Chains A and B, each alone.
Chain A
Amino acid sequence: MAAGPRSRALVASLLAGLGCSSPELTELAYSCDTSPTPSQQTEDGSLCGANDPNIIEPSLPSAMDVCQTLRAEKFASDMSPPDETTLDTARVQQALNDCRGRVVKLEPSESGNAFVTDHLDLVSVTLWIDAGVTLYASRNAELYQKTGSCGVLGVNDSGACKDFISVSGDSPAIVGDGTIDGQGGEPLIGRDYSWWQLSYALREINGSIGNPTMINLLAGTTGFVLYRVTLNNSAKFHVKITSTPADGVCDRPGKGFTVWGITLLTPSKWTNSEGLVLTPSFARNTDGVDPGTTSIATCGVIACNTISTGDDHIAIKGGHWVSDLIIAHNHFGTGHGMSIGSETYGTYKTADGVVHRGVERVWVYDLTIDADSRPVGADAVAADFNGIRIKSDSSRGGLVSDITFQDVCMRDMTNAILISTAYNPLFAGTHYPQFRNLAFHDIRHVSCMGLRQPIVTLNGFNAALRAGPITLDNVVIDNLGPGAVASRHADISLGPRAVNFMPSGEGVSIEDRISEASEPKRCVFPTLPAPQPPAGWLR
């Protein structure tokens, strides 16, 4: 693609004076123009992941597998939430109960395109949501009531509500080209506020509302698949993953769980049905995909997804144990980052008697993170723009080991790379973060529309609990300003290809193994899905 009016050639000048090791990086101009190719397609037109020998795409069930087909009886549009005079909960739940081991398919009909249900239990069954169908979460908070605080303003009760969809059992799946909509921005029935307004009211005290999780996997789940569906507007986290191989053996990536080809866009609309403007910043605590939240998650693949939301795109939670993940060919828009943590203190003993800890063996490759795909919200703060993030502190830290980031492009982040052991400095504890064997290969951050210069932070906890080795190999963060690289108590290895900054700080050791000239990674940012502004809005 020809360089557009916003093309820049900053690299060479920015490299000068930053103490880079020689041989130096080759100058490489980059374009701030967004590729017209949608994020759900590849630039060369091939199927995403088809040429990747590490992973295997799931497939839709065959018609033979379908146990029951339910047809939509309600009609909904972007202009108004679906009617909830009657709900589809009973018939959908009954079908799910009756079809364990097989498939329940939701289809559109001549008069309907929507199902509306409250809490659903999906046990060892596949829910196939067909193209043209949306499964809406009811806006009636009373139907999710768990502790009495569900839907109540100002209550800091993280467990107040049931999930929208609880998943458990062997090989459960949610597939298809349809949509699940949590209606997080729409007013709750009988109330003049939404799930997100409930959450936003606790923002000042960093509180956590107990809104329903869109899809929550329960402990003991094995072989979960989430394939191709679109997820919009969850009231809180979108997908919490707890799933492992049924036989406990990870001999094929994705045997524990697979999330492939989903489009997660939250908020999906510019305004709600009452005209209230919805922004990612307003959709608080709406993490995209979080492995390890409820219990262990191992042997997983998260591939070919598009995620744009109001909190972490992916947050790997090591409060139990997470291991052997491949996160590949994903495109992220707005969000708080490709994150690990903040809980990393987990321990888990497998049947062979081995005790596993925290987060181990994660390979992230072919990832774009683009903050420019849509406005985040006027109230967004710097911490809302993170690229790669490993976060923990002494109240919730533990082992994070053997993590590789490779072929990652980022645009207009505040924290391009953030390895932090001080996620919340207020909390005391003896769960000290231990970050070991972190590798970064072919990483590029470019600045286009961002008003803030990017920051790189590479911190161990203290002189006795150092981070590292941290390998930086062809890592180029454009537009770094003075003092933009902070490091402490870390063992850092540079090379074999050049890096355009030199970490330094108390207790930082540098092993300079740079031996090759290199060219910064070429970055192309696809067109990400974004709600279209109504008339009168410029952007």
Chain B
Amino acid sequence: MSSGAVSPAWLGALAALASLACSSALAERDGVCREDATFDCRVSPMRGAEPIDVGLVGYGCSGSERPDRDARYEERIPMGKVCAERGATAEGLRGFCCTASTTSCAYDPVAACEGGAGYRCRGADRPEALNAAISCGNGVRRDIYIDYCCTGPEPPEPCIQVNTIGCSERLTGFSCPGAALPRGEELPASESRADYYRLLCPMPTPASNVTRSNYCCYMPALIPPGASCVQNTHVPGCAAGRFGFACYGPDTPNQDYAPMSCPEPGFAGESAEGYPATLYCCDFR
């Protein structure tokens, strides 16, 4: 066969492959959505406040259909509804509360958002700013867009930086609810620009409020290339306030993090992510 000729059989096979590829990403529609004026889309402005009507539109959907699935892009600007899933309607359908008008966010059907919905947005508006019934995680910049994973219910309470839990001068104190660990954005109380932090925190110390834990965290300096030790606040037998680590390689925490002193030898166990690792319990010098 000459290089310039393509047989109809090849074209057919290519078309079949293409359709397979698409079908794995974009499932066929298996339901419908209809407006449902009886569905309660009121929201509370603050925790515990009386819910109010903020103009969201209720929908009931069957199957896996969503009211925001028809999002589109015009000149690279996302355009679509933002919808919060909120339990079942009176008819037993999946209930959604959606923005009444088109926004600069588009539902992303292929986003990897476990148990939630993905949105791709342009500009500074988070989906919560467009739809008060939704809550979303941290945004991730992709080119000119920001991607969000969102769910209907409110996210857990964040950690708070505190200066009153007796941390040494070189450590930063945090009070966290439940099993939450301090995140980068919870640090910036004293900074005007402090968006990218990777804190290293010890085993939790009980707080006076039993629903919270305290941490005195450390800001690591440059970590050597190839370092394999990561924070693990679940190292068995590691006392509150000491720093637990899981190392995947032959390196040790004191090699990766200069201020760490690890007097006891490592032992076999699992990292917080569930992988086999050597566990260490260390002290901040």
Q: Residues on A close to B: CB < 8 A?
A: 146-149, 152, 154-160, 205-208, 210, 219, 237, 240, 284-285, 287, 290, 293-295, 311-312, 315, 317, 319-320, 342-343, 393-396, 420-422, 424-432, 461-465, 488, 506-507
Contacts and interface: CB of A to CB of B under 8 A. Distances in A.
A144 to B, nearest CB: 12
B14 interface: no
Contact of A294 (B47, B132, B190, B258): B190
A417 B163 CA distance: 33
Given A147-B170, A152-B221, A428 B140 contact: no
Contact of B131 (A219, A396, A462): A462
Contacts of A207: 193-196
Q: How large is the interface on B (under 10, 10 to 19, 20 to 34, 35 or more residues)?
A: 35 or more
Given A311-B192, A430-B154, A462 B185 contact: no
B193 A285 contact: yes
Contact of B218 (A147, A396, A464, A507): A147
A208 B138 contact: no
A155 B220 CA distance: 8
Contacts of B101: 506
A462 B163 CA distance: 32
A160 B123 CA distance: 33
Contact of A148 (B47, B123, B258): B258
Contacts of A507: 55
A468 to B, nearest CB: 13
A208 B158 contact: no
Nearest to B136: A428
The 6 closest A-B pairs by CB, nearest first: A463-B54, A319-B189, A422-B124, A464-B132, A208-B194, A427-B185
A206 B190 contact: no
Contacts of B157: 430
A504 B129 CA distance: 17
Contact of B259 (A148, A158, A420): A148
A158 B187 contact: yes
B205 interface: no
Nearest to B198: A156
B188 interface: yes
Contacts of A311: 192
B230 interface: no
B91 to A, nearest CB: 26
A425 B146 contact: yes
25 contacts: A146-B170, A152-B222, A156-B197, A159-B172, A205-B195, A206-B196, A208-B194, A208-B195, A284-B193, A294-B190, A311-B192, A319-B190, A396-B188, A420-B124, A422-B125, A422-B126, A426-B141, A427-B139, A427-B195, A428-B137, A428-B185, A429-B155, A462-B130, A463-B54, A464-B54
Contacts of A395: 158, 185-186
Contacts of A342: 188, 192
Contacts of B170: 146-147, 159
A396 B185 contact: yes
Interface string B124-162: 111011111001111111000010000000110110010
Interface in B59-102: 101
Nearest to A205: B196
B191 interface: yes
A422 B141 contact: no
A506 B104 CA distance: 13
Nearest to A462: B132
B52 interface: yes
Nearest to A346: B189
Contacts, number: 156
A433 to B, nearest CB: 10
B219 interface: yes
Nearest to B130: A462
A14 to B, nearest CB: 27
B255 interface: no
Contact of B158 (A219, A237, A431): A431
Name the residue among B123, B189, B197, B198 with the largest chain A CB count within 10 angstroms.
B189
A358 to B, nearest CB: 12
Contact of A394 (B126, B146, B192, B195): B126
A347 to B, nearest CB: 10
Contacts of B54: 462-464
A426 B188 contact: no
Given A395-B185, A427-B138, 19 more contacts: A148-B221, A156-B196, A156-B197, A159-B170, A207-B195, A207-B196, A285-B193, A294-B163, A342-B192, A395-B158, A422-B129, A425-B146, A426-B141, A426-B146, A427-B139, A428-B135, A430-B47, A462-B132, A465-B45
B38 interface: no
Contacts of A429: 155, 158, 185
B124 A157 contact: no
Contact of B219 (A149, A206, A464): A149
B111 interface: no
Contacts of A432: 46
Nearest to A203: B193
Given A206-B195, A422-B129, A157 B190 contact: no
B115 to A, nearest CB: 15
A463 B132 contact: yes
A315 B192 contact: yes
Contacts of A463: 43, 54-56, 132
Contacts of A431: 158
Contacts of B135: 428, 430
A428 B184 CA distance: 11
Nearest to B137: A428
Contacts of B195: 205-208, 424, 426-427
Contacts of B28: none
A139 B243 CA distance: 34
Nearest to B285: A148
B169 interface: yes
Contacts of B192: 237, 285, 287, 290, 311-312, 315, 342
B72 to A, nearest CB: 20
Contact of B129 (A205, A315, A421): A421
Name the residue among A205, A295, A424 with the largest chain B CB count within 10 angstroms.
A424
Nearest to B44: A464
A154 B222 contact: yes
A314 B219 CA distance: 27
A397 to B, nearest CB: 11
B132 A157 contact: no
B85 to A, nearest CB: 18
Contact of A147 (B124, B161, B221): B221
A366 to B, nearest CB: 25
Given A147-B219, A148-B221, A158-B219, A462 B193 contact: no
A425 B139 contact: yes
Name the residue among A146, A396, A462 with the largest chain B CB count within 10 angstroms.
A462
Nearest to A154: B222
Name the residue among A284, A343, A507 with the largest chain B CB count within 10 angstroms.
A343
Given A147-B219, A426-B146, A317 B189 contact: yes
Name the residue among A148, A154, A160, A290 with the largest chain B CB count within 10 angstroms.
A148
Contact of B188 (A210, A219, A290, A343): A343
